[in-house]
Amino acid sequence: QVQLRQWGAGLLKPSETLSLTCAVYGGSFSDNYWNWIRQPPGKGLEWIGEVDHSGGANYNSSLKTRVTISVDTSKNQFSLRLTSVTAADTAVYFCARGFKDGSIIQNRRVYYYYYMDVWGKGTTVTVSS
Amino acid sequence: DIQMTQFPSTLSASVGDRVTITCRASQSISTWLAWFQQKPGQAPKLLIYKASSLQSGVSSRFSGSGSGTEFSLTISSLQPDDFATYYCQQYQSLYSFGQGTNLE
């Protein structure tokens, strides 16, 4: 059974860099995508970005200039860095597995689709001076 | 970016009721849609993927339907444990979530 365990600093000052790590236990690390999602207090869910086992990443366009998601396959871990944080970055941050659902072939290219089936418990990050 | 709109934002119901939550995508996403349940202080839990496929271990009281831009989640007979917030999410083009429906 796949489990995700996450950790990182919970209190930051404005302009600092948020850094979180998620470790994957069980299952295949290479067949899936690995995601970060956040939820501000009392609000909905916002996807931050994803990374695959080779380090290929995609990001939410609204955060792209400040986000880096990286992977360490030797430890089955992936990490989130968010620079220049402000109070608006205060949220619970979740990691989640993107599990391959299916694929289509279009214009001779194969497109794969992944849904998030396993989640970490979340890490509360507060940005305050 | 694909926008997801859920309604209603709040739904009042009672144990035993049949309820339906609707989700609309700003463009066609085929059936690349998931539904999640979230309780306070917990991570979201996957209920439905590919619009209508029930995740393993999830009660058959939950069902999903739809394709293209219109989707729905139905709970056939509400149980006390079902009172939570529900989110739809598209995964046709990266990811985006609906704003949530608070079932109270």
Interface test with A, best of B95, B96, B99 (most A CBs within 10 A): B95
pLDDT at A106: 84
| Structure confidence at residue A108 (pLDDT) | 87
Which residue from B34, B46, B100 is facing A44, i.e. has the nearest CB?
A: B100
Q: Assess whether pLDDT exceeds 90 at residue A25.
A: yes
Residue A27 region by backbone torsions, left for phi larger than 0, else alpha for psi between -120 and 50, else beta? left
Cα separation values, B91 from A57, A91, B12, B17, B30, Å = 15, 22, 29, 30, 10
Q: Two tokens at A4?
A: 């995700």
pLDDT 10s digits, A71-104 = 999 999 999 999 999 999 999 999 999 999 888 8
More confident residue, A119 or A27: A119
Per residue in B25-69, pLDDT (tens digit) is 999 999 999 999 999 999 999 999 999 999 999 999 999 999 999
The answer to whether B94 contacts A45, with C-beta atoms less than 8 Å apart, is no
Q: Token digits for A98? A: 């993107």
Round to whole Å and give the CA distance between A21 and A102: 28
Instruction: Give the Cα separation of B7 and A27 in Å (integer).
Output: 36
Q: Please judge whether A94 and B44 are an interchain contact, meaning their C-beta atoms are less than 8 angstroms apart.
A: yes
Distance CA A54, CA A58 (A): 12
